[in-house]
Structure 1
């Protein structure tokens, strides 16, 4: 009688679904993440409701001056704040720490032995952090909408070209704007994964998304060529404003979303490659600056150069994209829309934009410099014609045009048109829509 010895069977890796649930539970069980979720679902509503009731509004932010008029302005103000500050911080605290936490606790060997698959460990951690980040973004959006509607109500919203959006249309565009910023948020999350893998226990991995976001935000303030501006994922945090013009300025928005998604894929792939090459036997690993530079930073710089070249060739975009004709057309269009709003306030006979035939003539630097590019030295004279009136009306505006195409038009007279912040109506004084307003110049060629 002979005994047979059974050959040992190789242990199978843990299924991805189980690993994902395990990583998600680990994330949500942290008091820091729970506090973030609670803050994102409550704080925006309280902030928007409180600011909407104040006499002083954040007029330096897009749609801030309309927070008294409609509940849909509040979530857009919150969106601008989130793109600059909140979302980079949230991605740092979640994705920027998801791998580094194992280094601090010294649990890598236990985790890898339990799961038995580098690929599934990486995928589970990436998916878990993505789930939490999407939950935080959804909280910011929903909470901001609830706060605005509760404080002011479901009223029409004035777009960035002066046209009036019905409550239903405003709701759709606000939600779409929040969806659009998911793409650059994914980029920051992928950079967070890359930093968390590359720097180990070092705090630099946790800070990397914030540092990169601040650097790109600073770059957007510079007079960069259009192609370089659109090749930065951060422009998607700005390009959503194009949804609130008629017709919508979709070109820059779509390009910025595609660029953001490409960056997210490349940064995630780089993080995975670094993860596969990590030495998990060194419990004091604090990252390798040389490896982070060679396998992380340099490929992303090359990607920026490549995408900038593709955008330049495919769109024929040159210079700053801010040109005299674009500024004049944008200002004249918005003035005509807002003039009708003022006429309704004053109970004057309604006229169409075509009947007004508004035109703008703009100069820059007192006519001493070329009329293009950003600056606060734009001066425009808007003229219009009312049917049955022989005299042509005119009004003066001082424009502050930023490098990303947004501008603030400040009325400079005459007083009864745009020289005062209120107009006297039959029902009392009301805010003058022609006094100050925000606008948007599309940076890409419009022909």
Structure 2
């Protein structure tokens, strides 16, 4: 009777709600000086960088949209986005997600946390949500700060797309915002890999470096002449696939595949981290991770996912080889040239002309009939031809192309000097950048319709 009475008097153990654990974990993260410094830097540094570079005489012309930073405030956020996808976001996910579990191992606070929360599952959810919140805050800061810096320094002007067509300020704003939203997916994939590394490797510093190392390896893979299906099967491609938003029509196929692949990676890596965390022995205060577990529960499942994704992309898209083919390059160069020729015509105050009237075409090769005109390389050479209304002679211009494995190319004008031979052109209002001197473009890696028309047949 007495034992029963004592048992009835004991209050039932209540688990801490996830919302309270989330607030606690978020407070711990924000209380760290390095997290505060990162948040402050992401909300201030991009604005200063974009505003400063936009006022310089020399622009980062080798960077996508860099040569347009003098012309519009919407180019700056895209320059920052390109840098963030390569370096900033992988490092930010390493610092935040890669350390969220390992910090408890270093401090030896798992027992106290388990006694307070009474649920490993809720601890995992709270930590994952807290790290996700901080990462989204950092990404938002990068985007907002770069936009503010660009608009303040240059203004709300139209933006020239990757195929030379002009985007109105409102359209440019929407696409810039969408591009930043799209890179959240690969960032989540790296964050999930960070959670997996932090859970698997314990207090080992390698857990902190896992997202950055994985991102570095995938970036190296993107630089190699790999088949397009392998390139699309890696979440890192989503960091560059936003380029397709700035063509007309938009190249949405690679972008959608990149976002989908990134989200699948994020779900799988988070699920693996969750399972390993629930199976962990918290009674061992000297737990220092497990290299074998990192391979069997981390590397092998993600490698298997990559193989499955390669097969699915190959079957559903029919893509083969590098995806960079002669006819695609010719269409892209001719389309961009026609749009930019109209822009140059407006600058020089010449009679207006439409793309359909120009009937621009391009003939491209790799400098020799013995070399197949396909694949990336800096040895592409294109001769662009066009017609002017009322003029019998056919105009022509030469461009040297550097085509990267991800489909982006930079065309460098090689004459005639009246068209693309000089960086500046003399306009009625003064010297202005010559849009035909150098320009960037994008070759869609996925197969395109045979009936697709080039700029010369565009109404």
Instruction: Give the counterpart of 1:67 among 65, 69, 72.
Output: 69
Q: 1:87 aligns to what? A: 89
Give the superposition deviation at 1:152. 0.4
Task: Please list the CA deviations of residues 82-135 of structure 1 after superposition, one character each: whole Å capped at 9, or x if unmatched.
Answer: 000100010000000000010010000111111111110000000000000000
Instruction: Give the counterpart of 2:359 among 333, 357, 363.
Output: 357
Q: 2:445 aligns to what? A: 443
Q: 1:276 aligns to what? A: 278
Q: Secondary structure at the match of 1:85?
A: helix
Instruction: Give the counterpart of 1:345 among 336, 344, 347.
Output: 347
Q: 1:118 aligns to what? A: 120
Give the superposition deviation at 1:250. 0.2
Task: Please list the CA deviations of residues 201-225 of structure 1 after superposition, one character each: whole Å capped at 9, or x if unmatched.
Answer: 1110000000000000000000111
Give the superposition deviation at 1:428. 2.0
Q: Secondary structure at the match of 1:366?
A: coil
Q: 1:370 aligns to what? A: 372
Aligned pairs for 1:187-202 within 5 A: 187-202=189-204
400-409 or 50-59, larger mean C-alpha shift: 50-59
Q: Secondary structure at the match of 1:325?
A: helix
Give the superposition deviation at 1:9. 5.1
Aligned pairs for 1:270-349 within 5 A: 270-349=272-351
Give the superposition deviation at 1:278. 1.4
Give the superposition deviation at 1:279. 1.7
Give the superposition deviation at 1:2. 8.4
Q: Secondary structure at the match of 2:383?
A: strand
Q: 2:153 aligns to what? A: 151
Give the superposition deviation at 1:277. 1.7
Distance (Å, rounded) in 2 between the aligned partners of 1:343 and 1:70: 19
Aligned pairs for 1:44-63 within 5 A: 44-63=46-65
Aligned pairs for 1:164-313 within 5 A: 164-313=166-315
Distance (Å, rounded) in 2 between the aligned partners of 1:199 and 1:2: 48
Give the superposition deviation at 1:4. 5.5
TM-score scaled by structure 2?
0.96
Task: Please list the CA deviations of residues 299-335 of structure 1 after superposition, one character each: whole Å capped at 9, or x if unmatched.
Answer: 0000000011100000000000000000000000000
TM-score scaled by structure 1?
0.99
Distance (Å, rounded) in 1 between the aligned partners of 2:259 and 2:315: 18
Number of aligned positions between the proteins: 447
Give the superposition deviation at 1:359. 0.2
Name structure 2 gaps, 5 residues minimum: 450-459
Q: Secondary structure at the match of 1:360?
A: strand
Q: 2:133 aligns to what? A: 131
Instruction: Give the counterpart of 1:16 among 6, 15, 18.
Output: 18
Name structure 1 gaps, 5 residues minimum: none
Distance (Å, rounded) in 1 between the aligned partners of 2:11 and 2:27: 30
Give the superposition deviation at 1:390. 0.6
Q: Secondary structure at the match of 2:285?
A: coil
Runs of 4 or more consecutive aligned structure 1 residues displaced over 4 Å after TM superposition: 1-4
